[in-house]
Structure 1
Amino acid sequence: MLRPYRLERELDRAVTQWLDWLPRWDPSTARRRLSPCVACPSWAIDLAFEEVPHGALHALTTSLDAVVTEHVRRSVALQPFLSDEAVDGLREQLRREASAWVGRQHAQIARALDAFVEPKVQHMAALLLADLGG
């Protein structure tokens, strides 16, 4: 079985890279989606970031999901005869561990969101209100 410190180290790297990228996030460059994102809503609930704009959140959740998927893949490689139910259980367990680990970083992440995301959202809202006002 994989060592837990490896998962934590990779989660730490993913969150650090996201925090480094966050100041460059620009809501005006977001692409319009034809279908709703299937991954972000459940991660947002697990991480208590339901109010975070999708573009900023999506960058974090795809990284977290990639870490979980890679650990599941490695575990299956080490134990190739795991049943589908065991693999699903492992994925859910690793996802819970990832959510708990990120939850311990919640204050740091919230500060970064307040510093880099909220001002951009407020600016876009002000521009929209100005356009509506004439």
Structure 2
Amino acid sequence: MLRPYRLERELDRAIAQWLDWLPRWDPATARRRLSPCVACPDWAAELGFEEVPHGALHALVTSLDAVITEHVRRSVALQPFLSDEAIDGLRDSLRREAVSWVSRQHEHIARALDAFVEPKVQHMAALLFADLGAGF
């Protein structure tokens, strides 16, 4: 089994990289999805980020998932005879640890969302309302 501090260090790095990227997030460049994202709603509920726009949240979720997947891969490499149930249990355990780790930084993340995401969402809403008002 891998040492927990390694997971925490990698989660810290993933969160820090996401926070560094967040000011560059631009909702205008978001791609339209034909099908809903299967990963983000569960993560959003667990992290308490249900109101965060999908594009901004998705970047964090994919980073966290990548850290978890890498730790599972390393564990399987160290213990190649793990059962599927053991691997699923490990993945669930690592996800709970990731949620807990992000939750500890929730206030810091919320401040960054308020500073960098919310103004962009408000601006887009204002533009939409202006366009709607011009049409009447």
Which TM-score band applies after superposition, normalised by the shorter structure?
Answer: over 0.9
- Deviation above 4 Å: which 4+ runs of structure 1? none
Using the size of structure 1 for normalisation, the TM-score is: 0.99
Partner of 1:112: 112
The SS at the match of 1:2 is: coil
Using the TM superposition, give the Cα deviation of residue 76 of structure 1 relative to its aligned residue in structure 2, in angstroms.
0.6
Superposed CA deviations along residues 53-111 of structure 1, whole A, max 9, x for unmatched, are 00000000000000000000000111111110110000000000000000000000000
Equivalent residues, number: 134
Using the size of structure 2 for normalisation, the TM-score is: 0.98
Q: Which runs of 5+ in 1 are unaligned?
A: none
Counterparts of 1:16-95 in structure 2 under 5 Å?
Answer: 16-95=16-95
Superposed CA deviations along residues 1-26 of structure 1, whole A, max 9, x for unmatched, are 10000000000000000000000000
2:100 is matched by which residue type in structure 1? A
Q: Which runs of 5+ in 2 are unaligned?
A: none
User: In structure 2, what is the Cα distance between the partners aligned to 1:5 and 1:98?
Assistant: 12
Instruction: Give the aligned CA root-mean-square deviation in angstroms.
Output: 0.4
User: In structure 2, what is the Cα distance between the partners aligned to 1:104 and 1:8?
Assistant: 12
